[in-house]
């Protein structure tokens, strides 16, 4: 899987850790092995990500360098209309 969103790419280790933790916790609750694909584990992972997802995304986004967008002073250099002859 190629993550084009740099924030999403950096969230993957945290999401993997949440899956591992929830799998372990459910295994402890049941007293036996539980698959990471178990329905209860998936529900719990979704619940945790919904609770902390926005905070996680914001903290990772703050750590990324600013995108190289045009600055307002450079806007004047961009033509409003580009004519292409075919």
- Where do the structural domains in the chain lie, given as residue ranges? 6-77
Q: Return the percentage of the chain with pLDDT > 70, whole number.
A: 65
Give yes or no for residue 86 having a pLDDT over 60: no
Q: Is residue 53 within 8 Å of residue 7, measured between CB atoms?
A: no
Distance CA 82, CA 27 (A): 62
pLDDT band per the 50, 70, 90 thresholds, residue 59: confident
């Amino acid at each position: 899987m190629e993550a084009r969103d740099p924030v999403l790419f950096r969230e993957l280790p945290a999401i993997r850790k949440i899956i591992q933790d929830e799998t372990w916790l459910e295994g402890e609750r049941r007293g036996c092995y539980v698959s990471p694909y178990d329905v209860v584990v998936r529900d719990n992972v979704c619940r945790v990500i919904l609770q902390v997802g926005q905070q996680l995304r914001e903290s990772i986004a703050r750590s990324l360098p600013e995108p190289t967008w045009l600055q307002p002073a450079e806007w004047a250099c961009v033509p409003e209309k580009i004519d292409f002859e075919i």
